[in-house]
Amino acid sequence: MTAPQNDLVCRRLVGRTAVITGAGSGIGLATARRLASEGAHVVCGDIDETAGKAAAEAVGGTFVQVDVTDAEQVEALFKTAFDTYGSVDIAFNNAGISPTDDDSILTTGLDAWKRVQEVNLTSVYLCCKAAIPYMRRQGRGSIINTASFVARMGAATSQISYTASKGGVLAMSRELGVQFAREGIRVNALCPGPVNTPLLRELFAKDPERAARRLVHIPVGRFADAQEIAAAVAFLASDDASFVNATDFLVDGGIAGAYVTPV
């Protein structure tokens, strides 16, 4: 079963400014394309200059090189968005890592633990801290923080710091969504299921058993396409989601709801 091709053209984000971290690849890149196609000005933040520039060029947006663990660089990212386009309406705080030395708690060292916490969790704190003052002044904003379905479910194939970092993203997003709701700011955590990225394809092509072990738990029987995650971000970013706030927004093909899946 393949993902449906959606040719619908929505223009829900005309005149809005969106900042996307990790825009150079995967979910971030697909979302940059989707938000631009809906009319948003897109500011592409990434640590990878080549990939980030290419993304910005592809969507007619602006590239800002940023290490999302650095407070000053994150502030500069959101300032560039405001100075260039006059508002900060959408923050998709999405950059994240999943390194191989983050594994079982029995083998994961403190260095790997801390690095993952910095890139996946501290970065979201910094991005929200930088974005919210602009949104408060406007009386409007939508923040979407990328967590993961693994923040909601236990895995015997552990990546302990990754899972804990994403759990932190859920709790922080919920709290911010509640705190700033009456100022017109919505904050949601996005929980994608496994996405069919080049990295994942390569990993699973080398190791079909590893792929099969995961696929059996997915009711729809396949991994997500990045465009399917981008479509959910576009919804959360838009006024169509005006009453969707402080959620753990699952886009997981039914994984979190499943006990026995179809054969």
Catalytic residue IDs: 162
Q: Which of 61, 177, 194, 253 is in the footprint of ligand NAD by CB under 6 A?
A: 194
Instruction: Output the smallest distance, CB 14 to ligand NAD, in A.
Output: 26
- Choice from 16, 19, 28, 168 touching ligand NAD (CB under 6 A): 28
Name residues contacting ligand NAD, limited to 213-252 (CB under 6 A). none
Contact 231, 31 (CB under 8 A): no
**What is the sign of the dihedral through the CA atoms of 5, 27, 59 and 12?**
positive
Measured from the CB atom, is 178 or 199 closer to ligand NAD? 199
Query: What pairing do the DSSP bridges indicate for beta strands 248-251 and 185-192?
Result: parallel
| Closer CB to ligand NAD, 17 or 120, in the complex | 120
Question: Of 132 and 229, which has the nearer Cβ to ligand NAD?
Answer: 229
Give the closest residue to 16 by CA, choosing from 247, 234, 241. Answer: 234
Per CB under 6 A, 146 contacts ligand NAD: yes
Q: For the chain, where are the E strands, in sequence order?
A: 17-21, 41-46, 62-65, 90-93, 141-146, 185-192, 248-251
CB atoms within 10 A of CB 3: 15
Q: Closest approach of Cβ 139 to ligand NAD, in Å?
A: 29
Smallest separation, CB 185 to ligand NAD (Å): 21
Which amino acid makes up residue 173? S
Closer residue to ligand NAD (CB): 47 or 81: 47
Closest separation between CB of residue 30 and ligand NAD, Å? 8
Is 51 a binder of ligand NAD (CB under 6 A)? yes
Residue closer to ligand NAD by CB (options 13, 54) is 54
Question: In the stretch 80-119, what mask flags binding to ligand NAD with x, by CB under 6 A?
Answer: --------------xxxxx--------------------x
Number of H helices, E strands in the chain: 9, 7
- Helices 49-58 and 26-37 pack at an angle, to 10 degrees, of 20
Angle between helices 160-179 and 123-138 (to 10 degrees): 20
* Nearest distance in Å: CB 76, ligand NAD: 13
- What values do phi and psi take at 141, rounded to 5? 175, 155
CA 187 to each of CA 19, 179, 249: distance values in angstroms, whole numbers, following the listed order: 14, 10, 11
Q: Interface with ligand NAD includes 19 (CB under 6 A)? A: no
Chain residues that interact with ligand NAD, rule: CB under 6 A: 21-22, 24-28, 46-48, 51, 66-69, 94-98, 119, 146, 148, 192, 194-195, 197, 200
